């Protein structure tokens, strides 16, 4: 479908271009023919290369004349799939459209397609016209079988083939032909009539997940999915601050630590830090953190 | 001019008007204000206000000023206040400008104020700072804090150009007038980029010194804290080379002078100064102690990346710089007797997106863990009242020359264009 729309667009563009730029193109062509007709023909075969003096002229194979470009010999009802049977770079001589592409230098117009690197660089869908796709389909039909007549409703399809794979394709204008969202492939599983089997599978998975593998013990803080306040630098900082705030008298030890941890303001502080880390920052979470710290430091 | 002389002068020139005013005053408050409106243009009204204030100057009598002109607030709100001492300012003065005394400008802020503000001070011939909510809040915390407990860290954060550095300067002014020792690092970002000279540290082999930045800072430190330099004595002997050393018990001024003159060892001198101040701030007031305010602008540069490269083109991590290493030690709350006031700044920071302004985004994981627990203080764009004040101030200083800017329409345009962001507003008005 993309190729189809592209075609229409190019045709309309072509028509528009013919209208606006056509005259200029013709003029240029005329000028070109006029110029070549008048140019003087040097006797030496090496046009443009100055005389090399004592070393003598370089013998070069004379360059053969270019033939007429293909587009000039194209009938309107031609077979386009013969011009572009496969994906191929843009050939200005084979595409009969007056396409222009590029930056208009000095308030001019975009450069023409002849010798235009921009048009060659970009991917084109000239090999995917509707006729070409029809031909592909015809060719592939040889390898296809009939759709099973029994599967005529969606319900029956779901029953026999519960697992569905969805691939998404995207068409958009942008700098890259790849769309990262297209990489996501959805696998849908609906709960099949065999409910017991599904539960059995889930139970097995559940128990498997409880088994700790040897490499799981190497999990670092960076791997953690959620932030845990215990044993975090935040907890250590808070505790050390509180300990320093208690002026001498209290003995360091686990009992003091647990007592400090049990205080309501410490709990509030813990909540706010967890919220900040897990949910990300926002004005409200920062304000909550602020209130908690104020209570902690008794300001 | 003495108050009576001023009022005499006024009476002489506008005797009739004054009589009318007094008669109106006897009729009632409203009559008086309406007559005030009619008779005197804005400028004179302010002079009258100032005269009244001179009669009853000091913190307590500000009520008079406010009570006198409740009607006027809507149209010509008073945007200046005479209370120039940050300690006496309160919510009543929100949105009003107070003047920084010129002597303070030179001593307290040799390097602290933003560049555009310094230009404004030069143009207007006075330094006026607006009293805003974040600064007042900070000052109230500083007043209420207990200085025998570990130092509390405060962090000013907000959108670009919302007034974080100015709030910091306001707080520093407060600390200075209260007799604290202010350690002001105007822009920590300057220490992690564009370093022309990088010397390997003599003290610690894997670290690098920045002599130029360190000696500049020491010079400014000396200007700010002259009076402390002779009072504070060193607790330890510092050896710089085989022949040079600073003895125990010598005044801090000697150390600082040595750092300024001997540029090569200035980074180590900075480290020594910071250490001494940290140890000595903990003492109580009686035994010649002092309170220490560490003010850092752009604190997020301490934990970010640097653009300084070693000779083999590998990047230098911030902790490998002596200055940054020592500064990080100051931010830890293992010392008492002061406070750490910091600002986040995206403007000079390296490798951070320009839309980032929240603390955790700019500080990063490491920075947040080091600063935690801190009190974040948000700084937002001007409120309506503050915008009014700023607009009137610019009008008063004849900064807004374009005739359209004085109309209501023009004012609405200015609000729309700047979204009441202080720095955008300032840049916009510079064109008008």
Cβ of A283 within 8 Å of Cβ of B144? The answer is no
Per the prediction, chain B carries an average pLDDT of 80
CB-closest option in A233, A286, A299 to B376: A286
What crossing angle do the helices spanning B408-418 and B422-431 adopt, rounded to 10°?
130
Tokens of B157: 């954060």
pLDDT tens-digit profile of A3-18? 444 444 444 444 444 4
Cβ of B373 within 8 Å of Cβ of A233? The answer is no
> Residue B22 — very low, low, confident or very high, per pLDDT cuts 50/70/90?
low
pLDDT value, residue B58 = 40
Cβ of A245 within 8 Å of Cβ of B150? The answer is yes
pLDDT tens-digit profile of B385-407? 899 899 999 988 888 888 888 88
pLDDT value, residue B295 = 92
> Residue A24 — very low, low, confident or very high, per pLDDT cuts 50/70/90?
very low
Nearest CA of chain A to the CA of B346: how many Å?
A: 16
A interface toward B at CB cutoff 8 Å? 233-234, 237-238, 240-241, 244-245, 247, 269, 273, 276, 281-283, 286-287, 289-290, 293-294, 296-299
Could you say which of A210, A235, A252 is where a domain stops?
A: A210
**A25 within a domain of the structure (yes/no):** no
Least-confidence region, from A235-249, B223-237, B388-402: A235-249
**Is residue A126 located within the same domain as residue A184?**
no
CB-closest option in B152, B361, B377 to A281: B361
Kindly tell me if the per-residue pLDDT of B356 is higher than 60.
Answer: yes
What are residue B212's DSSP bridge partners?
A: none
**A240 within a domain of the structure (yes/no):** yes
**Is residue A159 located within the same domain as residue A112?**
no
Tokens of B165: 């550095």
pLDDT value, residue A250 = 52
pLDDT tens-digit profile of B25-41? 555 545 555 555 555 54
pLDDT value, residue A249 = 42
Could you say which of A163, A183, A210 is where a domain stops?
A: A210
A50 vs A238, higher pLDDT: A238
**A32 within a domain of the structure (yes/no):** no
Kindly tell me if the per-residue pLDDT of B230 is higher than 60.
Answer: yes
> Residue A235 — very low, low, confident or very high, per pLDDT cuts 50/70/90?
confident
How many CA atoms within 13 Å lie on the side-chain side of B280?
23
Instruction: Compute φ and ψ for B297, nearest 5 degrees.
Output: -100, 130
**Is residue A192 located within the same domain as residue A230?**
no
Kindly tell me if the per-residue pLDDT of A135 is higher than 90.
Answer: yes
- Calpha distance B214→B273 (Å, rounded): 11
Cβ of A299 within 8 Å of Cβ of B369? The answer is no
pLDDT value, residue A174 = 64
B373 vs A contacts (CB less than 8 Å): 234, 237-238, 241, 269, 293, 296-297
Cβ of A234 within 8 Å of Cβ of B376? The answer is no
**A27 within a domain of the structure (yes/no):** no
**Is residue A242 located within the same domain as residue A203?**
no
> Residue B364 — very low, low, confident or very high, per pLDDT cuts 50/70/90?
confident
Q: Give CA A156 to chain center in angstroms.
A: 36
Kindly tell me if the per-residue pLDDT of B151 is higher than 50.
Answer: yes
Could you say which of A92, A115, A144 is where a domain stops?
A: A144
Peptide bond into B373 cis (omega under 30): yes
**A93 within a domain of the structure (yes/no):** yes
Cβ of B372 within 8 Å of Cβ of A276? The answer is no
pLDDT tens-digit profile of A164-200? 666 777 766 666 666 666 666 666 666 666 677 777 8
CB-closest option in A237, A282, A283 to B373: A237
CB-closest option in A237, A245, A281 to B149: A245
- Cβ-Cβ contacts under 8 Å for B156 (sequence gap 6 or more): B134, B138, B164, B167, B168, B341, B342, B343, B344, B377, B379
**Is residue A137 located within the same domain as residue A171?**
no
pLDDT value, residue A1 = 45
In terms of pTM, does the model score above 0.80?
no
pLDDT value, residue B227 = 84
Cβ of B372 within 8 Å of Cβ of A238? The answer is yes
**A53 within a domain of the structure (yes/no):** no
Residue to mutate among A232, A242, A281, A297, with most B CBs inside 10 A, is A297
> Residue B12 — very low, low, confident or very high, per pLDDT cuts 50/70/90?
low
The count of domains in chain A is 3
Cβ of A241 within 8 Å of Cβ of B373? The answer is yes
CB-closest option in B146, B359, B373 to A286: B359
Instruction: Compute φ and ψ for B295, nearest 5 degrees.
Output: -115, 115
Per DSSP, B352 falls in state -
Kindly tell me if the per-residue pLDDT of B153 is higher than 60.
Answer: yes
**Is residue A185 located within the same domain as residue A137?**
no
Rg of chain B over Cα atoms, rounded to whole angstroms, equals 25
SS (H, E, C) chain A: CHHHHHHHHHHHHHHHHHHHHHHHHHHHHHHHHHHHHHCCCCCCCCCCCCCCHHHCCCCCCCCCCCCCCHHHHCCCCCCHHHHCCCCCCCCCCCCCCCCECCCCHHHCCCCECCCCHHHHHCCCCCCCCHHHHHHHHHHHHCCCCCCCCCCCCHHHHHHHCCEEEEECCCCCCCCCCCCHHHHCEEEEECCCCCHHHHHHHHHHHHHHHHCCCHHHHHCCHHHCCCCCCCCCHHHHHHHHHHHHHCCECECCCHHHHHHHHHCHHHHHHHHHHHHHHHHCCCHHHHHHHHHHHHHHCCC
Query: What ipTM was assigned to the predicted interfaces of this complex?
Result: 0.72
> Residue B148 — very low, low, confident or very high, per pLDDT cuts 50/70/90?
confident
A204 vs B283, higher pLDDT: A204
> Residue A139 — very low, low, confident or very high, per pLDDT cuts 50/70/90?
very high
pLDDT average, residue stretch A108-121: 90
pLDDT value, residue B75 = 37
**A68 within a domain of the structure (yes/no):** no
Enclosing domain of residue A261: 226-297
Least-confidence region, from A35-39, B215-219, B241-245, B359-363: A35-39
CB-closest option in A245, A247, A281 to B358: A281
H or E element at residue B402: none
Kindly tell me if the per-residue pLDDT of A35 is higher than 50.
Answer: no
Kindly tell me if the per-residue pLDDT of A257 is higher than 70.
Answer: yes
Cβ of A244 within 8 Å of Cβ of B144? The answer is no
Window 141-180 of B: residues touching A by CB (8 A cutoff) are 141, 144-146, 148-150, 152, 157
pLDDT average, residue stretch B208-225: 89
A286 vs B contacts (CB less than 8 Å): 157, 358-359, 376, 378
- Calpha distance B282→B298 (Å, rounded): 26
- Interface check for B375 against chain A (CB to CB < 8 A): the answer is yes
Instruction: Compute φ and ψ for B340, nearest 5 degrees.
Output: -115, 115
Nearest CA of chain A to the CA of B359: how many Å?
A: 8
Closest-approach residue (CA) in chain B for A269: B373
> Residue B287 — very low, low, confident or very high, per pLDDT cuts 50/70/90?
low
pLDDT value, residue B107 = 86
pLDDT value, residue A14 = 42
> Residue B282 — very low, low, confident or very high, per pLDDT cuts 50/70/90?
confident
**A86 within a domain of the structure (yes/no):** yes
Cβ of A293 within 8 Å of Cβ of B374? The answer is yes
Kindly tell me if the per-residue pLDDT of A32 is higher than 50.
Answer: no
């Amino acid at each position: 479908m993309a190729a189809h729309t592209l075609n229409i667009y190019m045709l309309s563009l072509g028509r528009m271009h013919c209208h606006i730029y056509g005259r200029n193109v013709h003029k240029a062509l005329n000028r070109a023919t006029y110029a070549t007709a008048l140019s003087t023909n040097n006797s030496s075969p090496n046009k443009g290369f100055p005389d090399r003096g004592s070393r003598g002229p370089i013998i070069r194979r004379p360059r053969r004349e270019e033939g007429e470009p293909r587009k000039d010999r194209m009938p309107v009802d031609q077979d386009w799939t013969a011009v572009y049977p496969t994906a191929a770079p843009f050939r200005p001589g084979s595409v009969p459209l007056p396409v222009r592409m590029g930056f208009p230098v000095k308030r001019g117009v975009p450069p023409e397609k002849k010798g235009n690197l921009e048009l060659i660089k970009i991917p084109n869908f000239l090999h995917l016209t509707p006729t070409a796709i029809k031909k592909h389909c015809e060719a592939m039909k040889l390898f296809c079988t009939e759709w099973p007549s029994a599967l005529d409703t969606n319900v029956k399809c779901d029953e026999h083939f519960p697992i569905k794979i969805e691939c998404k394709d995207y068409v958009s204008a942008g700098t890259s032909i790849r769309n990262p969202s297209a990489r996501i492939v959805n696998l849908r599983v609906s709960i099949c009539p065999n409910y017991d089997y599904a539960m059995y599978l889930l139970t097995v998975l559940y128990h498997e997940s409880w088994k700790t593998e040897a490499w799981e013990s190497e999990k670092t803080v960076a791997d953690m999915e959620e932030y845990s306040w215990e044993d975090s630098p935040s907890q250590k900082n808070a505790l050390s601050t509180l300990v320093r705030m208690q002026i001498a008298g209290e003995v360091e030890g686990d009992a003091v630590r647990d007592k400090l941890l049990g205080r309501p303001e410490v709990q509030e502080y813990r909540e706010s830090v967890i919220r900040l880390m897990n949910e990300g920052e926002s004005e409200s979470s920062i304000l909550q953190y602020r209130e908690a710290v104020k209570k902690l430091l008794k300001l | 001019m003495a108050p009576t002389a001023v009022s005499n002068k006024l009476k002489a020139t506008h005797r009739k008007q004054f009589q009318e005013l007094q008669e109106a005053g006897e009729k009632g408050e409203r009559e008086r204000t309406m007559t005030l409106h009619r008779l005197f243009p804005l400028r004179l009204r302010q002079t009258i206000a100032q005269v009244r204030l001179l009669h009853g100057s000091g913190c307590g009598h500000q009520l008079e000023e406010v009570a006198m002109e409740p009607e006027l607030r809507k149209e010509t709100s008073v945007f200046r206040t005479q209370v120039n001492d940050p300690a006496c300012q309160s919510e009543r003065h929100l949105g009003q400008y107070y003047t920084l005394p010129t002597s303070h400008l030179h001593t307290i802020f040799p390097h602290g104020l933003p560049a555009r503000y310094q230009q404004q001070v030069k143009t207007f011939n006075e330094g006026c700072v607006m009293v805003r909510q974040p600064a007042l809040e900070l000052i109230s915390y500083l007043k209420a804090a207990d200085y025998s407990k570990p130092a509390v860290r405060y962090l000013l954060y907000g959108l670009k150009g919302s007034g974080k550095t100015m709030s910091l300067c306001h707080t520093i002014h407060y600390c200075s007038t209260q007799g604290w020792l202010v350690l002001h690092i105007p822009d920590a970002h300057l220490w992690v980029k564009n370093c022309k000279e990088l010397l390997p540290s003599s003290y610690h082999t894997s670290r690098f010194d920045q002599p130029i930045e360190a000696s500049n800072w020491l010079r400014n430190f000396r200007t700010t804290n002259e009076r402390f330099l002779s009072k504070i004595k060193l607790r330890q002997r510092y050896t710089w080379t085989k022949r040079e050393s600073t003895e125990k018990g010598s005044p801090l001024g000697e150390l600082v002078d040595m750092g300024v003159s001997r540029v090569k060892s200035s980074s180590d001198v900075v480290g020594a100064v910071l250490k001494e101040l940290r140890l000595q701030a903990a003492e109580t007031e009686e035994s010649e102690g002092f309170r220490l305010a560490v003010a850092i602008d752009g604190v997020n540069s301490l934990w970010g990346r640097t653009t300084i490269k070693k000779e083999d083109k590998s990047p230098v991590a911030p902790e490998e710089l002596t200055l940054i290493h020592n500064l990080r030690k100051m931010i830890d709350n293992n010392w008492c007797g002061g406070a750490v006031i910091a600002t986040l700044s995206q403007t000079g920071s390296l490798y951070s997106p320009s839309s980032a302004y929240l603390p955790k985004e700019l500080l990063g994981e490491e920075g947040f863990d080091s600063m935690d627990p801190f009190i974040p203080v948000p700084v937002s764009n001007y409120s309506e009242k503050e915008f009014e004040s700023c607009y009137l101030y610019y009008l008063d200083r004849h900064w807004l020359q374009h005739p359209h800017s004085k109309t209501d329409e023009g004012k609405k345009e200015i609000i729309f264009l700047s979204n009441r962001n202080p720095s955008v507003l300032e840049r916009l008005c510079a064109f008008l």
